[in-house]
Amino acid sequence: MELVSAAPNTVATSMEVLRTKLPATGRRLRARMDGVNRPTVGLALGSGAARGLAHIGVLEVLFRSRIPIDIIVGCSMGAVIGGCYAAGMDSYELLEMGLAIDRREVFRHVDLAVPNRGGLISGARIEGLLEELTKGKTFEQLRFPFACTAADILTGEEVVIEDGPVHEGIRASSSIPGVFQPMMYGGRALVDGGILNPIPANYLAALKVDVSIAVDVMPVLRPSSEQLGKVPSIVSTLINSFDIMGRLVAAPVAHMATVVVRPQVGEVFGAEFWRATELITEGFRAAEAAIPAIREALNRAGM
């Protein structure tokens, strides 16, 4: 297990760390591209809780459009979708999985935590599901390089996870603070990486990927008329706080990508996983709209 830490809260420093401290992901990427005569294409899948289901639609469009993917760096729900894809699930299987989600399925995987243990939900059931979806694979066994980001809640450091069991890394990357218990991983208490870096496109830039595609599913909060004037629930308060912070941090990092795909999913609350159909559809629409820009970038890079 290898954790590559970045200095607290600084995107510039994290890029410098990745330049000077060669991560396993970089070695795998170079090995993958050895002898391949085309530009390297990377995907940064951002955080956004349920809104991250839009990533499935994006992956389906890239597959249909024959856009190669050589590396994925994911955060939170972007780590879930990216990790499952790298572990062998194709876009159709991800689509089937997403469309099968309903309220009952969501609550079936909620296991309440012991009080005062750092979160409302233990996360053990979700971790078991992630292990099943990724077939128990390690990062070294994936079909292309994949890494995910998390945050050490005790030190404030951003952490890149790139070795060991994939499901453990994904669980750490997607542990929304206060909602899920922190994941103890490599001696660290890790939570959702979105609190520091919701769209980890900076790591693709640091690895000198030729064409990087970032998918931004961070919302601009638009409460409904029914929500206005009412005290939100505990979960709503935690997730909305997370979204407000993430939106401020996301913009400068997303712009490090060659192309940014922005599904319009701001009307969906972060816990509404049962709205998968409209989220995936919007991811599909946004990616289709971005294909001309992606092809132009590939042409400029020599493909």
Give the residue numbers marked as catalytic.
76, 192
Judged by DSSP in three states, 114 sits in coil
CB atoms within 10 A of CB 13: 13
Q: Is 159 left (phi over 0), alpha (psi -120 to 50) or beta?
A: beta
**Secondary structure of residue 152 in the 3-state scheme:** strand
The label of the residue with tokens 């391949």 reads 36
Closest by Cα among 168, 163, 172, 177 to 190? 172
In DSSP notation, 229-282 reads: TSPPPHHHHHHHHHHHHHHHHHHHHHTTSSEEE----TTS-TT-GGGHHHHHHH
Distance CA 52, CA 60 (A): 14
Strands 183-185 and 188-192: antiparallel
Q: Helix 91-99 and helix 276-300: axis angle, to 10°?
A: 160
Other beta carbons within 10 angstroms of residue 136's beta carbon come to 13
Residue pair 138/163 in contact (Cβ under 8 Å)? The answer is yes
Neighbours of 152 (CB within 10 A): 23
Given a contact cutoff of 8 angstroms between Cβ atoms, the answer to whether 148 and 83 are in contact is: yes
Q: Which residues contact 14 (CB under 8 A, 6 or more apart)?
A: 6, 7, 158, 197, 202, 203, 206
